[in-house]
Amino acid sequence: MTTGPLAGLRIAEFAGIGPGPFAGMLLADMGAEVVRIQRPGGADPYAPGLATRGRTVVEADLKDPAARERVLALLDGADALIEGFRPGVMERLGLGPDAVLARNPRLVYGRMTGWGQDGPLAATAGHDISYIAVTGALAAIGEPARPVPPLNLVGDYGGGSLYLVAGLLAGILSARTTGRGQVVDAAICDGTASQMAMFCDMASRGTWRDGRGSNLLDGGKPYYRTYACRDGEHVAIGPLEPQFYAEFLRLTGLADDPDFARRDDPAMQERLHARLEALFLTRSRDEWDRLFEGSDVCFAPVLSLSEAPHHPHLKARGTYVAAGEGGWQPAPAPRFSATPGAVRAPRAATIEAVAAAWRSG
C-alpha cells in the first residue's frame, strides 16, 4: 500500500530529462501515484535510474491518434500533469492545455521548461548552464578567474523541479477549493532568479559586489570557504557568527592572535587567507575532523559521493539508502512524522489498466 502525505494524488508525467523526472521522483517519494508515459521501446536516458523510482511506467506513441485517445482517457482521472517539451509540442500532439482542461477542468497542467512558455528565447534550446548564466547566478559562483557550473543543482533542480513541485501542489490545493485547474509555467530562469532574492537585496543595499570571491558567501571571506589539507583532501569552514568564530580561534590556537581579530578588515583578507591556507596544510582532513568534532565551528569535511553515505551523521539518519549492486541512493526528503514517504521501485503497466483504476477510484 502506498504511503506518504500525497497518497491518493494522481499525476501523469510525460517522459523527459532533467527537472521533470526529478519533480516526478519527489512527488512519488511523498506517496503520489506518478504514471510515467514514454515511447514504446524508446531510449530513456534515465531508466531504470533513480529519477524513475516510484513510478508506474506505461508506453504510448503520442503520434498515434488511437494512443493519444488512450492518454486523454488517462488524463481524465489525473490531478496533475508534468511535461517538459518545447512550447507548442504538446499542442501539436493534441495534448495541450486547452484540449486536456476541456475534458478535465480540475487538472493542474505543469509545464517544465528552461526559458518558459513565452519570450524571445522560448523556442530555443538550452541547458542548466544557460539558464543560470542569464539570471546572474552563475556569475556569482566559482573562482575569481571564471564561473564554475554548480552541477545542475541551482538551475534544473533548484530553480526548476522544486518550483514545479511547489506550483503543482499549490495548483492542486486551489483546484480543490475552486474546482478549476490551471497551467503552471515553471521556467528554470524564473525559479533561478527567485532563488537569488537575498543576493539581489544585498546588491541593492550595496553589501554584495559583482566579482566572485569578494563577498561573504562566495569564498571571499577567510572564515567562509574551503581549504586544502595535508593529504590533498579539503575541509569547509563557516563560523559566521562571532561566538562560532571565537570557538574556531580557540580550537586552532589563534584566539590571541591580533590578525584574526580583524577578520572583516578589507586590508587583512589576503593575509588571513594565506595564513589559514598554511594552517590547514599542517594536518589531514580526518585530523581536522577529529579536532572540530562536536564543536560549533560550523566545520565539515568535504566528502566525495562515495564517502558521503558512510558519514556517521548521514548514516545514523539514513540519509542515503542502499541501491542495487552495492550502490546508494538518497532517501526521500523531507521527512513526515505521521505519513512517511518511501522509496519504491518502478513498475510497468498499461495505460488502459491505469485509466480504469483511476476511473473506479
Enumerate the active-site residues.
127, 156
| Rounded distance between C-alpha atoms, residue 187 and residue 314, angstroms | 32
* Residue 35 identity (one-letter amino acid): V
Q: Which amino acid is at 162?
A: L
- The cell for 278 is 598554511
Pairing relationship of beta strands 299-301 and 182-187 according to DSSP bridges: unpaired
From CA 159, how far away is CA 16, in angstroms rounded? 17
Cβ neighbours around 46 below 10 Å, total? 18
Please give the distance of CA 219 from its chain centroid, rounded to a whole number.
22
If we measure between CA atoms, which residue out of 113, 15, 107, 111 comes closest to residue 61? 15
List Cα–Cα distances, 105 to 97, 100, 122, 195, in angstroms: 10, 8, 26, 31
Q: Is the dihedral of CA 257, 262, 267, 271 positive or negative?
A: positive
112: its cell numbers:
517544465
Distances in Å between the Cα of 190 and the Cα atoms of 8, 187, 197, 267, 306 are 30, 5, 11, 38, 33
Spatial CA neighbour of 159 closest among 320, 22, 305: 22
- In degrees, rounded to 5, the angle at the alpha carbon of residue 126 between the alpha carbons of residues 124 and 127 is 165
Q: How far apart are the first and last CA of the chain?
A: 15
SS3 (DSSP) at 85? coil
